[in-house]
Structure 1
């Protein structure tokens, strides 16, 4: 029987949060609302694409959320790396229901009990008006990543997505519970590396923003 090395079985995924938007700067919850990059975000997308060229790796595939802030970030990467861009709606941000369009301060002021449940990371709490629970959100993110990893064993893959998705990804790779407080950064346009081998996930590197200037975290005051 021929032995297959870990290298041949491992899918290494570099995940990038989209560049900055005007709503990021306003600390406004975007969710599924389709907000474009601002000028800072467009510059971050270019800087990230060039930083990835310096990795001296051959990336085999590029996946992105279908929301335009992720698509615009991924388009810069696709152009520099000559990769076909594959959109997957499972890589979208969490749907925040009627919190979408509100700033964090507005959400807390207008809906204090719902905000408390959101902030405390109640796993089964789903936002009113078609919003997702953390459990539902995590399930679709896990499904997307497992599909990508199984499709690209032995390859390097790029995924452009959102802050909430990266929160789920970090927990997937470290076995950190969904309801524990977040203790890691999620900056716009940073590089985050995970690996998948034989059904097991591993965190390789996180929040590399050496190619960027000031960045905004996914949460206020983080």
Structure 2
């Protein structure tokens, strides 16, 4: 368990499916465009957000193309401005960027989940690792001054939510994920929207 961060009310969105997600490729710092399914997932997020009161909310997005494209579809019609913050980018996966998961040779348990085996992100050769990702997520959350809609990535979303819920790295794989999802976090409580 880690210390829970107290932050303003947040809606956290993961980008829609990309071409590389569909190919089961590790993206990390690289990028591929949204698929038709990914654009439909972002449109569904826009519909879900249309039923929420977002007065006073900021829009903050990862600078990576797949997140920016999702934010343009899902969030732009609801907020006057969306800014990017590099701290919301996806975890770096070093030598595994662009590689198909089935081609990776690993010697650790790798249970699969809706965003692929979370353990891959912790053990990627030359990757960022969970400790560094947690530090940048905590830094980002500490700088928030008001409620926000965040558009980010699968592992970064989990790490943000881990910090907000007071969980530990071993809990990341158990947190719900998937694309086109919105999580609402307020006062240390998480719920899925829609």
TM surpasses 0.5: yes
Which structure has the bigger radius of gyration?
Answer: 1
C-alpha RMSD of the superposition: 2.5
Shift of 1:89: 1.0
Q: Any residues of structure 2 matched to 1:168-187 within 5 Å, and which?
A: 168-180=159-171, 182-187=173-178
Moved more, 72-81 or 86-95: 72-81
- Using CA pairs below 8 Å that are at least 6 residues apart, which structure has the higher relative contact order? 2
Unaligned runs of 5+ in 1: 1-8, 197-201, 211-222
TM-score, normalized by length of structure 1?
0.73
- Map of 2:69 onto structure 1: 72
TM-score, normalized by length of structure 2?
0.83
Q: Any residues of structure 2 matched to 1:14-33 within 5 Å, and which?
A: 14-33=11-30
Deviation >6 Å, runs of 4+: 117-120
Q: Distance in 1 between matches of 2:159 and 2:137?
A: 7
Match of 1:193 among 181, 184, 187: 184
Unaligned runs of 5+ in 2: 1-5, 111-116
- Map of 1:133 onto structure 2: 129
Match of 1:45 among 28, 42, 47: 42
Q: Distance in 2 between matches of 1:44 and 1:27?
A: 18
Shift of 1:51: 1.4
Name the count of aligned residue pairs.
183
- Map of 2:80 onto structure 1: 83
Shift of 1:177: 1.4
- Map of 1:55 onto structure 2: 52
